[in-house]
Structure 1
Amino acid sequence: MNTQIQFQRFLPLDTLTTQTPVLFIDSHAPLADLHACVAERLSALHKLLTIFACCPLCDSNPADLTTVTNIARLLLQDANDVFDVVQQRCLSA
């Protein structure tokens, strides 16, 4: 008997800007690919925040801080959504 839990195949990414989901995660994608997706986003976020941390804020336009914050939130939300799928798959195995 197969005891593995079947997950919905395509899961929507969280969004603050649309009423209906537009981007989806393939929950049946290979774990290595899901991991690579999370790693890519976390690495990009780390680099972005490192660059911003090294810049004096007094030289920045206030709009830049809002832009960087929005980029960081998007990258982190995507990574978190994909990580949730990885975690569910690993815990159900």
Structure 2
Amino acid sequence: MDRYLALKSNFTDTPVLFIDRRAAQQDLHHCAQQRLRAAADLLETLTCLNFRQADTKDTTHIIQALYLLVQDGCDLLENTRIQ
């Protein structure tokens, strides 16, 4: 197994963001939790908003931010071992 795993959220031909598989499992789990919590908090905030006056680009920006947070969190969780 390679030490570094490219995040699935990389959008370039040459990945630049990686997970260090030798990092402490607790640290990987904490990073995953942090990203997923940020996504959940953003979604909670969005439930209180009215999108009738939102610009299409704003919606795209929100979706992109949520995708990055959730995908990175999932990549991190997939690389933690239950002990």
TM-score under structure 2 length normalisation: 0.90
Q: Which moved more, 1:73-82 or 1:16-25?
A: 16-25
Larger Rg: 1
AA of the residue aligned to 1:20:
T
1:26 has 2:20 as partner: yes
Structure with greater helix percent: 1
Q: Match for residue 43 of structure 1? A: 37
Matches of 1:64 and 1:53, distance apart in 2: 15
Higher relative CO (CA 8 A, sep ≥ 6), structure 1 or 2? 2
Q: Is the 8 Å Cα contact of residues 6 and 18 (structure 2) preserved in structure 1?
A: yes
Number of residue pairs aligned between Structure 1 and Structure 2: 83
Structure 1 segments, 4+ long, off by >3 Å, are none
**1:60 shift after superposition:** 1.6
TM-score under structure 1 length normalisation: 0.81
**Residues 1-93 of structure 1: matches in 2 within 5 Å?**
7-15=1-9, 17-86=11-80, 89-90=81-82
**1:17 shift after superposition:** 2.0
**1:16 shift after superposition:** 5.2
Name structure 1 gaps, 5 residues minimum: 1-6
Q: Which moved more, 1:67-76 or 1:8-17?
A: 8-17
